């Protein structure tokens, strides 16, 4: 590992996640153990104090029934027990009449106890050992004859248990801290795996490997969603690039034919003897071919402008029915020549806020196709009406129809159906229709059945009548 990567480890998300997990885990364990220790300490102390009280009551009954001898006998027997009690009998002036000092009372100063003024009604006397850290807790009661009985207990046994607990606690907390660190590292590595995969994928895309995908973690969490969306975005970009590439290939391919024809015409004219008529014919052909190329390039530019939103739209409030009439008029001669009947059926007052020339281009393209792909004797029907939200135009024909395989492709740039190759066309009409309609906030649809006919439907946002009055 390089010095740079070592220096950057503290800045990494994995390191910070591990650290957070480790700190939170260790702190929670410490708090939990601290609380358990406090609870254990106070329970043991409470237990000791209860024991002292019970013993005090026992010895006071013993004194009342059997006198000092019985106390002496029982108190001496205490010394053999594991955690023996101190028993002291004193006069009303606090002079010791009897005391047993068990072995665990080392460092206990009897004088100190004798100096305490017992009239203060103190419930519990706490004394410190002179030689070690042991404390002694002593309870006092006054007997019927005025003497004083005291029972005490050292905290040695309690400390032994607490010490044992502290030892176990140290080992467990150490193990837990190790576990916290290990667990933190494991979870951080696991949680950040999708992000690492994402980085690797982006890196491989940057280095030119298109088509790379991030493996989905399938955990159902936010990262899962992010990876899924990221993959979707990659697929979209990929399909856009493929589309652009194939469009470029198609354009290059479609331009080659007219360019080759143009060159051939010019070449033939150059080789022919100086016949002025042949030159003229060749030039006419050349102009036609150049027009075809220009038309194609202009339409391609229009489509891309409309698609990218840079097309300049000269928006006006227009009567849709009027625009349809004007466009139909341009095609009446063509239809008549082919013996095709054009019918129109539009509702009144269909107002739109559109660029009239562009919308005429849309209707013209649909009408042109309908006439082009309908055999002689057929019929074309235009229907415009107000839909639920949009103004709708349907262009129906009784033509050759479109096969289900071709149907999704007809809106693509430069696509031409196999059966359409005999007809004039560039394969750009419908792409332009779709781009212009979408640039106006509308959408396109098509229904078609081979040998029966097609219906092209366009939806355009209607213009609000109330705003119309303000114009
Ligand atoms: P072009 O008509 O120049 O070939 P278009 O983009 O206008 O290009 O149409 C693309 C293809 O969709 C056509 O080649 C044809 O196969 C099909 N098509 C379009 N309109 C119709 C129609 N009214 N009837 C049958 N086929 C159609």
Please give all residues whose beta carbon lies within 6 A of any atom in ligand 1, as ranges.
369-370, 373, 397, 399-402, 410, 415-417, 420, 425-431, 454
Give whole-number Cα distances, 320 to 207, 287, 347, 351, 371, in Å: 52, 36, 9, 6, 21
Beta strand pairing status for 96-100 and 135-142? unpaired
Beta strand pairing status for 390-397 and 124-128? unpaired
Q: How confident is the model at residue 469 (pLDDT cuts 50, 70, 90)?
A: very low
Mean pLDDT over each residue of the chain, to the nearest integer? 87
Written as six digits, the tokens of 161 are 């248990």
What is the distance between the alpha carbons of residues 432 and 428, in angstroms, rounded to a whole number?
A: 6
More confident residue, 23 or 469: 23
Lowest mean pLDDT among 36-45, 104-113, 136-145: 104-113
On the question of pLDDT at 471 being above 50, the answer is: no
> By alpha-carbon position, which residue is closest to atom 15 of ligand 1?
417
Q: How confident is the model at residue 224 (pLDDT cuts 50, 70, 90)?
A: confident
On the question of pLDDT at 426 being above 60, the answer is: yes
Of 342, 362, 402, the residue with max ligand 1 atoms within 8 A of its CB, to mutate for a pocket test, comes to: 402
In sequence order, which ranges of 80-123 are alpha helices (DSSP H)? 110-115
Give whole-number Cα distances, 48 to 74, 155, 163, in Å: 19, 8, 16
pLDDT tens by residue, 107-142: 888 888 888 877 766 678 888 888 888 899 999 998
Residue 468: per-residue pLDDT: 44
User: Is the Cβ–Cβ distance between 397 and 360 less than 8 Å?
Assistant: no
pTM for this model (two decimals): 0.57
> By alpha-carbon position, which residue is closest to atom 16 of ligand 1?
417
Q: Give the Å distance between the CA of 416 and the centre of ligand 1.
A: 6
Of 292, 416, 450, the residue with max ligand 1 atoms within 8 A of its CB, to mutate for a pocket test, comes to: 416
């Amino acid at each position: 590992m390089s010095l740079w990567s070592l220096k950057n480890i503290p800045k990494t998300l994995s390191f910070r996640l591990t650290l957070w997990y480790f700190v939170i885990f260790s702190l929670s364990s410490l708090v939990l153990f601290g609380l358990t220790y406090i609870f254990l300490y106070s329970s043991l102390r409470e237990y000791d104090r209860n024991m002292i009280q019970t013993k005090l009551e026992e010895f006071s009954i013993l004194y009342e029934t059997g006198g000092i001898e019985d106390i002496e006998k029982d108190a001496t027997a205490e010394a053999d027990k594991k955690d023996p009690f101190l028993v002291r009998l004193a006069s009303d002036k606090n002079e010791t009449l009897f005391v047993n000092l068990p072995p665990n009372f080392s460092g206990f100063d009897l004088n100190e106890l004798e100096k305490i003024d017992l009239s203060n009604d103190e419930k519990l006397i706490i004394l410190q050992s002179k030689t070690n850290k042991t404390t002694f807790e002593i309870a006092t009661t006054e007997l019927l004859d005025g003497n004083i009985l005291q029972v005490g207990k050292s905290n040695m046994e309690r400390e032994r248990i607490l010490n044992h607990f502290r030892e176990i606690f140290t080992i467990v907390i150490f193990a837990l801290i190790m576990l916290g660190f290990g667990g933190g590292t494991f979870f951080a590595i696991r949680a950040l795996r999708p992000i690492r995969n994402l980085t690797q994928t982006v890196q491989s895309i940057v280095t030119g490997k298109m088509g790379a995908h991030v493996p989905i973690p399938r955990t159902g969490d936010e990262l899962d969603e992010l990876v899924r969306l990221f993959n979707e975005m990659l697929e979209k970009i990929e399909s856009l690039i493929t589309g652009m590439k194939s469009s470029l290939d198609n354009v290059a391919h479609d331009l080659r034919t007219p360019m080759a024809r143009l060159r051939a015409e010019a070449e033939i004219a150059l080789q022919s003897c100086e016949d002025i008529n042949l030159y003229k014919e060749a030039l006419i052909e050349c102009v036609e071919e150049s027009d075809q190329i220009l038309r194609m390039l202009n339409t391609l530019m229009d489509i891309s402008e409309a698609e990218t939103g840079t097309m300049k739209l000269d928006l006006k409030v227009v009567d849709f029915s009027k625009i349809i009439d004007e466009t139909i008029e341009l095609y009446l001669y063509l239809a008549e020549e082919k013996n095709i009947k054009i019918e129109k059926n539009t509702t009144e007052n269909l107002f739109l806020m559109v660029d009239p020339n562009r919308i005429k281009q849309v209707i013209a393209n649909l009408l042109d196709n309908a006439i082009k792909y309908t055999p002689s004797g057929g019929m074309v029907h235009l229907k415009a009406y107000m839909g639920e939200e949009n103004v709708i135009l349907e262009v129906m024909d009784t033509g050759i129809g479109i096969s289900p395989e071709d149907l999704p492709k007809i809106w693509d740039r430069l696509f031409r159906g196999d059966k359409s190759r005999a007809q004039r066309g560039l394969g750009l009409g419908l792409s332009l229709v779709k781009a212009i309609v979408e640039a106006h906030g509308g959408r396109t649809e098509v229904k078609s059945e081979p040998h029966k006919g097609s219906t092209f439907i366009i939806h355009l946002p209607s213009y609000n009548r109330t705003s119309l009055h303000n114009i």
